[in-house]
A and B are shown apart, each in its own frame.
Chain A
Amino acid sequence: MSKRLDPKPRRRLSGSYFWPTVLAVALHLAVFVFSLIKLPENDETPDSSSIVQATLVSNETQTDVAQQVSEQQEAANAKEEAPQPAPTPEPDESPSELEQAVIDQAEDMAAREEERALEQAEADARADAERRAEQAKREAEEAAERKAEREQQRAEEEAVEKVAEEKRQQEAEAQRKKEAAEEAAAAKAAEKEREQEAEAQRKKEAAEDAAAAKAAEKEREQEAEEQRKQEAAMQRQLEGEKEAAAKARQAEKAANGFIAIVRRAVEQAWLIPAGASDSMSATLSVRLGPSGEVLAVTVVTTSGDNSFDRSAVQAVEQAAPFIELRDLPAAQQSELRQFNLRFTPGDVR
Protein backbone atom coordinates (compact mmCIF):
# COMPACT_ATOMS: atom_id res chain seq x y z
CA MET A 1 0.00 0.00 0.00
CA SER A 2 1.42 3.32 -1.01
CA LYS A 3 0.95 6.42 0.75
CA ARG A 4 0.41 9.33 -1.42
CA LEU A 5 0.44 12.74 -0.06
CA ASP A 6 -1.64 15.28 -1.73
CA PRO A 7 0.34 18.28 -2.86
CA LYS A 8 -0.02 20.97 -0.31
CA PRO A 9 -0.23 24.65 -1.15
CA ARG A 10 2.91 26.88 -0.53
CA ARG A 11 0.79 29.23 1.50
CA ARG A 12 -2.49 28.94 3.22
CA LEU A 13 -4.67 31.81 2.16
CA SER A 14 -8.08 31.42 3.78
CA GLY A 15 -9.94 33.50 1.17
CA SER A 16 -8.96 31.62 -1.92
CA TYR A 17 -9.28 28.28 -0.21
CA PHE A 18 -12.75 28.76 1.24
CA TRP A 19 -14.94 27.18 -1.37
CA PRO A 20 -12.61 24.40 -2.25
CA THR A 21 -12.35 23.64 1.41
CA VAL A 22 -16.06 23.56 1.87
CA LEU A 23 -16.50 21.30 -1.10
CA ALA A 24 -13.67 19.11 0.02
CA VAL A 25 -15.09 18.77 3.47
CA ALA A 26 -18.49 18.02 2.11
CA LEU A 27 -17.04 15.36 -0.14
CA HIS A 28 -15.11 13.85 2.71
CA LEU A 29 -18.26 13.74 4.77
CA ALA A 30 -20.14 12.10 1.95
CA VAL A 31 -17.50 9.48 1.51
CA PHE A 32 -17.37 8.95 5.19
CA VAL A 33 -21.10 8.44 5.33
CA PHE A 34 -20.97 5.96 2.48
CA SER A 35 -18.16 4.10 4.07
CA LEU A 36 -20.14 3.86 7.26
CA ILE A 37 -23.14 2.46 5.46
CA LYS A 38 -21.07 -0.08 3.65
CA LEU A 39 -19.09 -1.48 6.47
CA PRO A 40 -21.74 -3.51 8.35
CA GLU A 41 -22.76 -5.42 5.16
CA ASN A 42 -19.45 -6.90 4.21
CA ASP A 43 -16.29 -7.91 5.79
CA GLU A 44 -14.11 -6.22 3.26
CA THR A 45 -11.78 -3.50 4.23
CA PRO A 46 -13.16 0.02 3.86
CA ASP A 47 -12.53 2.28 0.90
CA SER A 48 -9.27 3.62 2.09
CA SER A 49 -7.46 0.42 2.59
CA SER A 50 -4.19 2.15 3.30
CA ILE A 51 -4.84 2.89 6.93
CA VAL A 52 -5.96 -0.19 8.65
CA GLN A 53 -6.12 -3.87 7.95
CA ALA A 54 -8.58 -5.76 10.04
CA THR A 55 -8.65 -9.54 9.97
CA LEU A 56 -11.61 -11.57 11.09
CA VAL A 57 -11.16 -13.81 14.03
CA SER A 58 -14.68 -14.94 14.73
CA ASN A 59 -18.21 -13.95 13.95
CA GLU A 60 -18.89 -12.84 17.39
CA THR A 61 -16.33 -10.21 17.34
CA GLN A 62 -16.70 -9.11 13.77
CA THR A 63 -18.69 -6.07 14.34
CA ASP A 64 -16.60 -5.19 17.28
CA VAL A 65 -13.47 -5.22 15.23
CA ALA A 66 -15.14 -3.41 12.41
CA GLN A 67 -16.37 -0.85 14.80
CA GLN A 68 -12.87 -0.46 16.12
CA VAL A 69 -11.50 -0.01 12.69
CA SER A 70 -14.02 2.57 11.76
CA GLU A 71 -13.30 4.44 14.88
CA GLN A 72 -9.64 4.37 14.09
CA GLN A 73 -10.26 5.59 10.66
CA GLU A 74 -12.41 8.35 11.97
CA ALA A 75 -9.53 9.45 14.07
CA ALA A 76 -7.17 9.23 11.15
CA ASN A 77 -9.56 11.12 8.90
CA ALA A 78 -10.02 13.76 11.50
CA LYS A 79 -6.30 14.21 11.63
CA GLU A 80 -6.14 14.49 7.90
CA GLU A 81 -8.93 16.92 7.57
CA ALA A 82 -7.24 19.48 9.67
CA PRO A 83 -4.43 20.18 7.30
CA GLN A 84 -6.56 19.55 4.19
CA PRO A 85 -4.98 20.96 1.04
CA ALA A 86 -6.66 22.03 -2.11
CA PRO A 87 -6.39 19.67 -5.05
CA THR A 88 -4.31 22.12 -7.07
CA PRO A 89 -1.60 24.28 -5.61
CA GLU A 90 -1.88 27.91 -6.19
CA PRO A 91 1.42 29.65 -6.10
CA ASP A 92 0.38 33.29 -6.37
CA GLU A 93 3.52 34.53 -4.56
CA SER A 94 7.13 33.40 -4.81
CA PRO A 95 8.48 32.96 -1.27
CA SER A 96 12.12 33.67 -0.19
CA GLU A 97 14.62 30.91 0.13
CA LEU A 98 14.80 30.99 3.88
CA GLU A 99 11.12 31.07 4.20
CA GLN A 100 11.03 28.24 1.76
CA ALA A 101 13.53 26.26 3.73
CA VAL A 102 11.67 26.80 6.98
CA ILE A 103 8.44 25.90 5.34
CA ASP A 104 10.07 22.86 3.84
CA GLN A 105 11.52 21.85 7.12
CA ALA A 106 8.26 22.42 8.89
CA GLU A 107 6.59 20.46 6.15
CA ASP A 108 9.03 17.64 6.57
CA MET A 109 8.62 17.58 10.26
CA ALA A 110 4.94 17.76 10.04
CA ALA A 111 5.02 15.09 7.45
CA ARG A 112 7.21 12.86 9.55
CA GLU A 113 5.07 13.50 12.55
CA GLU A 114 2.08 12.58 10.59
CA GLU A 115 3.79 9.48 9.43
CA ARG A 116 4.65 8.56 12.95
CA ALA A 117 1.20 9.32 14.16
CA LEU A 118 -0.25 7.20 11.41
CA GLU A 119 2.17 4.42 12.13
CA GLN A 120 1.40 4.66 15.76
CA ALA A 121 -2.27 4.62 15.10
CA GLU A 122 -1.77 1.67 12.84
CA ALA A 123 0.29 -0.11 15.37
CA ASP A 124 -2.18 0.62 18.09
CA ALA A 125 -4.95 -0.57 16.06
CA ARG A 126 -3.01 -3.68 15.13
CA ALA A 127 -2.10 -4.30 18.68
CA ASP A 128 -5.62 -3.78 19.70
CA ALA A 129 -6.82 -6.08 17.07
CA GLU A 130 -4.27 -8.67 18.10
CA ARG A 131 -5.20 -8.37 21.69
CA ARG A 132 -8.79 -8.69 20.83
CA ALA A 133 -8.03 -11.61 18.65
CA GLU A 134 -6.11 -13.28 21.36
CA GLN A 135 -8.77 -12.55 23.86
CA ALA A 136 -11.32 -13.93 21.57
CA LYS A 137 -9.20 -16.97 21.03
CA ARG A 138 -8.79 -17.47 24.74
CA GLU A 139 -12.44 -17.04 25.35
CA ALA A 140 -13.23 -19.46 22.65
CA GLU A 141 -10.83 -21.96 24.10
CA GLU A 142 -12.31 -21.56 27.48
CA ALA A 143 -15.71 -21.96 26.17
CA ALA A 144 -14.64 -25.08 24.39
CA GLU A 145 -13.07 -26.40 27.54
CA ARG A 146 -16.08 -25.72 29.54
CA LYS A 147 -18.18 -27.41 26.95
CA ALA A 148 -15.97 -30.44 27.00
CA GLU A 149 -16.21 -30.56 30.72
CA ARG A 150 -19.87 -30.31 30.71
CA GLU A 151 -20.14 -33.09 28.21
CA GLN A 152 -17.92 -35.31 30.15
CA GLN A 153 -19.98 -34.69 33.17
CA ARG A 154 -23.10 -35.55 31.30
CA ALA A 155 -21.56 -38.73 30.03
CA GLU A 156 -20.66 -39.80 33.49
CA GLU A 157 -24.10 -39.09 34.77
CA GLU A 158 -25.59 -41.10 31.98
CA ALA A 159 -23.36 -44.01 32.75
CA VAL A 160 -24.41 -43.99 36.31
CA GLU A 161 -28.03 -43.87 35.36
CA LYS A 162 -27.60 -46.75 33.00
CA VAL A 163 -26.17 -48.90 35.67
CA ALA A 164 -29.01 -48.06 37.98
CA GLU A 165 -31.51 -48.79 35.23
CA GLU A 166 -30.03 -52.20 34.57
CA LYS A 167 -30.17 -53.10 38.15
CA ARG A 168 -33.79 -52.14 38.39
CA GLN A 169 -34.63 -54.21 35.35
CA GLN A 170 -32.93 -57.24 36.72
CA GLU A 171 -34.86 -56.98 39.90
CA ALA A 172 -38.12 -56.66 38.05
CA GLU A 173 -37.26 -59.70 35.98
CA ALA A 174 -36.57 -61.74 39.05
CA GLN A 175 -39.83 -60.72 40.56
CA ARG A 176 -41.75 -61.72 37.49
CA LYS A 177 -40.12 -65.11 37.35
CA LYS A 178 -41.04 -65.77 40.90
CA GLU A 179 -44.68 -64.87 40.36
CA ALA A 180 -44.93 -66.97 37.26
CA ALA A 181 -43.59 -69.98 39.08
CA GLU A 182 -46.12 -69.54 41.82
CA GLU A 183 -48.98 -69.33 39.38
CA ALA A 184 -47.86 -72.42 37.59
CA ALA A 185 -47.79 -74.35 40.77
CA ALA A 186 -51.26 -73.22 41.73
CA ALA A 187 -52.62 -74.12 38.30
CA LYS A 188 -51.14 -77.56 38.49
CA ALA A 189 -52.75 -78.19 41.79
CA ALA A 190 -56.16 -77.12 40.52
CA GLU A 191 -55.74 -79.28 37.44
CA LYS A 192 -55.02 -82.33 39.52
CA GLU A 193 -58.13 -81.80 41.58
CA ARG A 194 -60.31 -81.51 38.52
CA GLU A 195 -58.96 -84.70 37.04
CA GLN A 196 -59.71 -86.59 40.14
CA GLU A 197 -63.25 -85.36 40.20
CA ALA A 198 -63.78 -86.23 36.53
CA GLU A 199 -62.44 -89.68 37.12
CA ALA A 200 -64.86 -90.28 39.89
CA GLN A 201 -67.70 -89.07 37.73
CA ARG A 202 -66.78 -91.32 34.89
CA LYS A 203 -66.63 -94.36 37.03
CA LYS A 204 -70.09 -93.64 38.26
CA GLU A 205 -71.49 -93.18 34.79
CA ALA A 206 -69.83 -96.27 33.47
CA ALA A 207 -71.50 -98.32 36.11
CA GLU A 208 -74.88 -96.89 35.19
CA ASP A 209 -74.32 -97.47 31.54
CA ALA A 210 -73.38 -101.03 32.00
CA ALA A 211 -76.61 -101.72 33.76
CA ALA A 212 -78.67 -99.99 31.13
CA ALA A 213 -76.77 -101.67 28.36
CA LYS A 214 -77.51 -105.05 29.64
CA ALA A 215 -81.21 -104.28 29.66
CA ALA A 216 -81.13 -102.81 26.21
CA GLU A 217 -79.15 -105.73 24.91
CA LYS A 218 -81.87 -108.02 25.68
CA GLU A 219 -84.42 -105.86 23.91
CA ARG A 220 -82.23 -105.54 20.90
CA GLU A 221 -81.81 -109.19 20.45
CA GLN A 222 -85.50 -109.57 20.28
CA GLU A 223 -85.93 -106.84 17.72
CA ALA A 224 -83.06 -108.08 15.64
CA GLU A 225 -84.75 -111.36 15.28
CA GLU A 226 -87.88 -109.68 13.99
CA GLN A 227 -85.82 -107.42 11.76
CA ARG A 228 -84.03 -110.27 10.12
CA LYS A 229 -87.29 -111.79 9.22
CA GLN A 230 -88.58 -108.58 7.66
CA GLU A 231 -85.43 -107.89 5.76
CA ALA A 232 -85.45 -111.20 4.10
CA ALA A 233 -88.90 -110.45 2.81
CA MET A 234 -87.93 -106.98 1.69
CA GLN A 235 -84.81 -108.18 -0.02
CA ARG A 236 -86.83 -110.34 -2.24
CA GLN A 237 -89.10 -107.43 -3.09
CA LEU A 238 -86.16 -105.15 -3.72
CA GLU A 239 -84.63 -107.44 -6.25
CA GLY A 240 -87.82 -107.37 -8.16
CA GLU A 241 -87.96 -103.59 -8.02
CA LYS A 242 -84.38 -103.25 -9.18
CA GLU A 243 -85.09 -105.20 -12.22
CA ALA A 244 -88.08 -103.04 -12.98
CA ALA A 245 -86.04 -99.91 -12.41
CA ALA A 246 -83.36 -101.08 -14.77
CA LYS A 247 -85.95 -101.75 -17.35
CA ALA A 248 -87.51 -98.34 -16.78
CA ARG A 249 -84.18 -96.65 -17.21
CA GLN A 250 -83.64 -98.37 -20.46
CA ALA A 251 -87.07 -97.34 -21.58
CA GLU A 252 -86.37 -93.80 -20.52
CA LYS A 253 -83.25 -93.76 -22.59
CA ALA A 254 -85.11 -94.95 -25.60
CA ALA A 255 -87.84 -92.45 -25.02
CA ASN A 256 -85.32 -89.64 -24.69
CA GLY A 257 -83.75 -90.76 -27.91
CA PHE A 258 -87.10 -90.64 -29.64
CA ILE A 259 -87.91 -87.25 -28.18
CA ALA A 260 -84.60 -85.95 -29.40
CA ILE A 261 -85.33 -87.25 -32.85
CA VAL A 262 -88.74 -85.60 -32.87
CA ARG A 263 -87.30 -82.31 -31.67
CA ARG A 264 -84.58 -82.24 -34.25
CA ALA A 265 -86.89 -83.13 -37.10
CA VAL A 266 -89.45 -80.50 -36.15
CA GLU A 267 -86.78 -77.83 -35.71
CA GLN A 268 -85.35 -78.59 -39.09
CA ALA A 269 -88.76 -78.36 -40.66
CA TRP A 270 -89.91 -75.21 -38.89
CA LEU A 271 -89.90 -72.08 -41.08
CA ILE A 272 -90.39 -69.21 -38.69
CA PRO A 273 -92.55 -66.48 -40.24
CA ALA A 274 -90.79 -63.19 -40.91
CA GLY A 275 -92.99 -61.10 -38.67
CA ALA A 276 -92.71 -63.34 -35.62
CA SER A 277 -91.71 -61.49 -32.51
CA ASP A 278 -89.30 -62.99 -30.01
CA SER A 279 -92.00 -63.31 -27.38
CA MET A 280 -94.35 -65.47 -29.41
CA SER A 281 -95.08 -68.98 -28.26
CA ALA A 282 -97.53 -71.64 -29.47
CA THR A 283 -98.21 -75.07 -27.98
CA LEU A 284 -99.52 -77.92 -30.13
CA SER A 285 -100.90 -81.23 -29.07
CA VAL A 286 -99.84 -84.10 -31.35
CA ARG A 287 -101.21 -87.60 -31.67
CA LEU A 288 -99.29 -90.13 -33.70
CA GLY A 289 -100.40 -93.34 -35.32
CA PRO A 290 -98.58 -96.61 -34.69
CA SER A 291 -96.10 -95.90 -37.50
CA GLY A 292 -95.36 -92.40 -36.27
CA GLU A 293 -97.70 -90.70 -38.72
CA VAL A 294 -99.61 -87.64 -37.55
CA LEU A 295 -103.17 -88.50 -36.74
CA ALA A 296 -104.10 -85.15 -35.23
CA VAL A 297 -102.36 -81.94 -34.41
CA THR A 298 -104.22 -79.17 -32.66
CA VAL A 299 -103.23 -75.80 -31.34
CA VAL A 300 -103.57 -75.95 -27.60
CA THR A 301 -102.14 -72.51 -26.88
CA THR A 302 -102.14 -70.02 -29.69
CA SER A 303 -99.35 -67.50 -30.13
CA GLY A 304 -101.90 -64.92 -31.12
CA ASP A 305 -100.59 -64.92 -34.67
CA ASN A 306 -102.28 -67.26 -37.11
CA SER A 307 -99.38 -67.55 -39.47
CA PHE A 308 -97.09 -68.40 -36.56
CA ASP A 309 -99.46 -71.15 -35.41
CA ARG A 310 -99.72 -72.41 -38.93
CA SER A 311 -95.98 -72.54 -39.31
CA ALA A 312 -95.78 -74.69 -36.20
CA VAL A 313 -98.43 -77.09 -37.44
CA GLN A 314 -96.68 -77.27 -40.75
CA ALA A 315 -93.40 -78.04 -39.09
CA VAL A 316 -94.87 -81.07 -37.37
CA GLU A 317 -96.63 -82.26 -40.46
CA GLN A 318 -93.50 -81.83 -42.51
CA ALA A 319 -91.31 -83.63 -39.98
CA ALA A 320 -93.72 -86.59 -39.77
CA PRO A 321 -93.90 -89.54 -40.04
CA PHE A 322 -91.70 -90.30 -37.01
CA ILE A 323 -90.83 -93.83 -37.99
CA GLU A 324 -88.48 -94.32 -35.02
CA LEU A 325 -91.58 -94.77 -32.88
CA ARG A 326 -91.64 -98.40 -33.95
CA ASP A 327 -88.19 -99.04 -32.48
CA LEU A 328 -89.37 -98.27 -28.99
CA PRO A 329 -90.41 -100.97 -26.56
CA ALA A 330 -94.13 -101.55 -26.69
CA ALA A 331 -94.91 -99.85 -23.43
CA GLN A 332 -93.06 -96.70 -24.49
CA GLN A 333 -94.67 -96.65 -27.85
CA SER A 334 -98.14 -96.23 -26.49
CA GLU A 335 -96.93 -93.57 -24.09
CA LEU A 336 -95.12 -91.55 -26.70
CA ARG A 337 -97.83 -91.46 -29.27
CA GLN A 338 -99.25 -88.42 -27.53
CA PHE A 339 -97.20 -85.36 -26.63
CA ASN A 340 -97.07 -81.58 -26.76
CA LEU A 341 -94.76 -79.32 -28.69
CA ARG A 342 -94.09 -75.80 -27.51
CA PHE A 343 -92.68 -73.48 -30.15
CA THR A 344 -90.73 -70.49 -28.81
CA PRO A 345 -88.19 -68.93 -31.11
CA GLY A 346 -87.15 -66.62 -28.26
CA ASP A 347 -83.83 -64.89 -28.87
CA VAL A 348 -82.18 -67.87 -30.51
CA ARG A 349 -82.73 -66.33 -33.91
Chain B
Amino acid sequence: MSSLNKSSLNTSFRNLPLKTLARSCAVALSIVVIAGCSSTGGTQNGESYGGQQGAGTGGAGNGAGTSGTGGSGQYGSGTGTSSGVGQQADSRIPDVRTIYFEFDRDIIKSEYESVVMAHARYLRANGDAQVVLKGHTDERGTREYNLALGERRANAVKRFLRVQGVSSAQVNVVSYGEERPAARGQGESAYSKNRRVTFSY
Protein backbone atom coordinates (compact mmCIF):
# COMPACT_ATOMS: atom_id res chain seq x y z
CA MET B 1 0.00 0.00 0.00
CA SER B 2 1.09 3.44 -0.59
CA SER B 3 1.29 4.43 3.05
CA LEU B 4 3.57 1.52 3.87
CA ASN B 5 5.83 2.46 1.04
CA LYS B 6 5.80 6.01 2.16
CA SER B 7 6.81 5.10 5.69
CA SER B 8 9.69 2.96 4.53
CA LEU B 9 10.64 5.84 2.26
CA ASN B 10 10.56 8.16 5.26
CA THR B 11 13.04 6.12 7.26
CA SER B 12 15.46 5.72 4.40
CA PHE B 13 15.41 9.42 3.65
CA ARG B 14 16.32 10.27 7.15
CA ASN B 15 19.21 7.81 7.24
CA LEU B 16 20.76 8.42 3.87
CA PRO B 17 21.68 12.08 4.16
CA LEU B 18 23.66 11.45 7.28
CA LYS B 19 25.74 8.71 5.78
CA THR B 20 26.56 10.73 2.72
CA LEU B 21 27.53 13.71 4.72
CA ALA B 22 29.84 11.71 6.91
CA ARG B 23 31.44 10.02 3.99
CA SER B 24 32.12 13.19 2.11
CA CYS B 25 33.56 14.77 5.20
CA ALA B 26 35.94 11.91 5.62
CA VAL B 27 37.05 12.10 2.01
CA ALA B 28 37.60 15.83 2.17
CA LEU B 29 39.63 15.56 5.31
CA SER B 30 41.92 12.93 3.89
CA ILE B 31 42.49 14.97 0.72
CA VAL B 32 43.44 17.97 2.77
CA VAL B 33 45.89 15.94 4.78
CA ILE B 34 47.51 14.46 1.69
CA ALA B 35 47.87 17.82 0.00
CA GLY B 36 49.47 19.29 3.04
CA CYS B 37 52.08 16.57 3.10
CA SER B 38 53.13 16.79 -0.56
CA SER B 39 53.56 20.54 -0.72
CA THR B 40 56.40 20.55 1.75
CA GLY B 41 58.57 18.41 -0.56
CA GLY B 42 58.86 20.83 -3.50
CA THR B 43 60.85 23.62 -1.98
CA GLN B 44 63.70 21.48 -0.80
CA ASN B 45 66.24 23.48 -2.74
CA GLY B 46 65.01 26.78 -1.53
CA GLU B 47 68.07 28.80 -2.47
CA SER B 48 67.72 30.52 -5.79
CA TYR B 49 70.67 30.14 -8.06
CA GLY B 50 70.31 33.31 -9.99
CA GLY B 51 68.37 33.92 -13.13
CA GLN B 52 70.87 33.08 -15.79
CA GLN B 53 71.05 29.40 -15.08
CA GLY B 54 68.66 28.18 -17.68
CA ALA B 55 69.23 24.52 -16.82
CA GLY B 56 66.64 23.15 -14.42
CA THR B 57 67.82 23.90 -10.94
CA GLY B 58 66.48 21.97 -7.98
CA GLY B 59 63.96 20.03 -9.97
CA ALA B 60 65.59 16.72 -9.29
CA GLY B 61 65.84 17.59 -5.67
CA ASN B 62 69.52 16.79 -5.61
CA GLY B 63 70.65 19.53 -3.34
CA ALA B 64 73.61 17.52 -2.14
CA GLY B 65 74.91 17.04 -5.63
CA THR B 66 74.44 13.33 -6.00
CA SER B 67 74.27 13.87 -9.72
CA GLY B 68 77.70 15.40 -9.57
CA THR B 69 79.37 12.04 -9.30
CA GLY B 70 77.59 10.78 -12.35
CA GLY B 71 78.31 13.74 -14.54
CA SER B 72 81.87 14.52 -13.65
CA GLY B 73 83.12 11.01 -13.17
CA GLN B 74 84.79 11.07 -16.56
CA TYR B 75 86.74 14.15 -15.63
CA GLY B 76 88.32 12.57 -12.64
CA SER B 77 86.77 14.79 -10.05
CA GLY B 78 83.90 12.55 -9.11
CA THR B 79 84.78 12.03 -5.51
CA GLY B 80 85.00 15.72 -4.93
CA THR B 81 81.39 16.56 -5.58
CA SER B 82 79.83 13.89 -3.43
CA SER B 83 81.82 15.15 -0.55
CA GLY B 84 80.50 18.59 -1.31
CA VAL B 85 77.96 18.19 1.40
CA GLY B 86 80.64 17.07 3.76
CA GLN B 87 82.86 20.03 2.85
CA GLN B 88 81.57 22.18 5.55
CA ALA B 89 85.14 23.19 6.28
CA ASP B 90 85.23 26.49 4.39
CA SER B 91 88.79 27.11 5.43
CA ARG B 92 90.09 24.87 2.66
CA ILE B 93 90.12 25.79 -0.99
CA PRO B 94 87.72 23.38 -2.64
CA ASP B 95 89.37 20.45 -4.38
CA VAL B 96 87.43 20.60 -7.58
CA ARG B 97 88.61 23.64 -9.49
CA THR B 98 87.42 23.01 -13.00
CA ILE B 99 83.99 23.06 -14.51
CA TYR B 100 83.16 22.17 -18.10
CA PHE B 101 80.85 23.55 -20.72
CA GLU B 102 78.82 22.48 -23.72
CA PHE B 103 79.96 23.46 -27.19
CA ASP B 104 79.31 27.12 -27.95
CA ARG B 105 77.62 27.60 -24.57
CA ASP B 106 78.46 29.61 -21.50
CA ILE B 107 75.69 28.22 -19.31
CA ILE B 108 76.87 26.63 -16.07
CA LYS B 109 75.55 23.07 -16.17
CA SER B 110 73.49 21.96 -13.20
CA GLU B 111 75.96 19.23 -12.34
CA TYR B 112 78.63 21.86 -11.68
CA GLU B 113 76.59 24.23 -9.61
CA SER B 114 77.71 22.51 -6.45
CA VAL B 115 81.31 23.03 -7.43
CA VAL B 116 80.80 26.73 -7.92
CA MET B 117 78.79 26.90 -4.74
CA ALA B 118 81.67 25.37 -2.84
CA HIS B 119 83.99 28.05 -4.13
CA ALA B 120 81.43 30.69 -3.31
CA ARG B 121 81.28 29.48 0.26
CA TYR B 122 85.03 29.48 0.54
CA LEU B 123 85.37 32.95 -0.87
CA ARG B 124 82.64 34.33 1.33
CA ALA B 125 84.28 32.77 4.35
CA ASN B 126 87.72 34.09 3.40
CA GLY B 127 87.39 37.71 2.41
CA ASP B 128 91.11 38.05 1.65
CA ALA B 129 91.15 35.20 -0.81
CA GLN B 130 91.45 36.06 -4.48
CA VAL B 131 90.55 33.77 -7.34
CA VAL B 132 91.33 34.09 -11.03
CA LEU B 133 88.69 32.52 -13.24
CA LYS B 134 90.41 31.30 -16.36
CA GLY B 135 88.10 30.75 -19.32
CA HIS B 136 88.94 28.35 -22.14
CA THR B 137 87.44 27.02 -25.34
CA ASP B 138 88.14 24.08 -27.61
CA GLU B 139 90.35 24.75 -30.61
CA ARG B 140 87.66 25.03 -33.26
CA GLY B 141 87.04 28.39 -34.86
CA THR B 142 89.09 31.56 -34.91
CA ARG B 143 91.46 32.43 -32.13
CA GLU B 144 90.36 35.93 -31.14
CA TYR B 145 86.68 35.02 -31.22
CA ASN B 146 87.50 32.08 -28.96
CA LEU B 147 89.24 34.51 -26.61
CA ALA B 148 85.93 36.33 -26.30
CA LEU B 149 83.99 33.06 -25.80
CA GLY B 150 86.34 31.99 -23.03
CA GLU B 151 85.77 35.31 -21.33
CA ARG B 152 82.03 34.81 -21.55
CA ARG B 153 82.30 31.51 -19.73
CA ALA B 154 84.48 32.94 -17.00
CA ASN B 155 82.10 35.88 -16.64
CA ALA B 156 79.19 33.52 -16.24
CA VAL B 157 80.96 31.92 -13.30
CA LYS B 158 81.83 35.34 -11.88
CA ARG B 159 78.18 36.38 -12.05
CA PHE B 160 77.18 33.21 -10.25
CA LEU B 161 79.69 33.89 -7.50
CA ARG B 162 78.49 37.46 -7.08
CA VAL B 163 74.91 36.33 -6.80
CA GLN B 164 76.12 34.04 -4.02
CA GLY B 165 77.42 37.06 -2.23
CA VAL B 166 81.07 36.92 -3.20
CA SER B 167 82.60 40.37 -3.59
CA SER B 168 83.74 41.13 -7.14
CA ALA B 169 87.00 42.43 -5.70
CA GLN B 170 87.90 38.83 -4.95
CA VAL B 171 87.20 37.56 -8.46
CA ASN B 172 89.34 38.22 -11.54
CA VAL B 173 88.62 36.97 -15.02
CA VAL B 174 91.16 36.01 -17.69
CA SER B 175 90.38 34.27 -20.93
CA TYR B 176 92.86 32.10 -22.76
CA GLY B 177 90.51 31.17 -25.55
CA GLU B 178 91.85 28.08 -27.29
CA GLU B 179 95.33 28.63 -25.81
CA ARG B 180 96.64 26.25 -23.17
CA PRO B 181 94.37 23.31 -24.05
CA ALA B 182 94.07 20.64 -21.41
CA ALA B 183 93.91 17.93 -24.03
CA ARG B 184 95.57 17.89 -27.42
CA GLY B 185 94.06 16.53 -30.55
CA GLN B 186 90.81 16.67 -32.40
CA GLY B 187 87.55 14.97 -31.63
CA GLU B 188 84.95 15.53 -28.98
CA SER B 189 86.80 13.77 -26.17
CA ALA B 190 89.60 16.31 -26.41
CA TYR B 191 87.34 19.25 -27.14
CA SER B 192 85.09 18.60 -24.16
CA LYS B 193 88.08 18.66 -21.81
CA ASN B 194 89.14 22.04 -23.12
CA ARG B 195 85.84 23.89 -22.80
CA ARG B 196 86.33 24.87 -19.20
CA VAL B 197 86.72 27.49 -16.53
CA THR B 198 89.28 26.89 -13.83
CA PHE B 199 89.49 28.44 -10.39
CA SER B 200 93.02 29.61 -9.86
CA TYR B 201 93.94 30.82 -6.37
- Chain A positions near chain B (C-beta within 8 angstroms): 3-6, 24, 27-28, 31, 47-48, 50, 77, 87
Contact = CB atoms under 8 A, between A and B. Distances in A.
B5 interface: yes
Given A3-B1, A6-B1, A50-B1, A87 B6 contact: no
B40 interface: no
B39 interface: no
Contacts of B10: 27
Contacts of B7: 27, 87
Interface of B: 1-7, 10
A87 B5 CA distance: 12
A84 to B, nearest CB: 8
Main SS of the interface on chain A? loop
Closest 7 CB pairs of A and B: A48-B2, A4-B1, A31-B6, A27-B6, A47-B2, A6-B3, A31-B2
Most buried by B among A3, A5, A24, A48: A48
A24 B1 CA distance: 14
A87 B10 CA distance: 13
A250 B40 CA distance: 107
A28 B1 contact: no
Contacts of A31: 2, 6
A6 B4 CA distance: 8
Contacts of B6: 27-28, 31
Most buried by A among B3, B4, B5, B7: B3
Contacts of A47: 2, 5
A4 B6 CA distance: 14
A23 to B, nearest CB: 9
Contacts of B1: 3-6, 48, 50
B8 to A, nearest CB: 11
Most buried by A among B1, B2, B4, B6: B2
B69 to A, nearest CB: 61
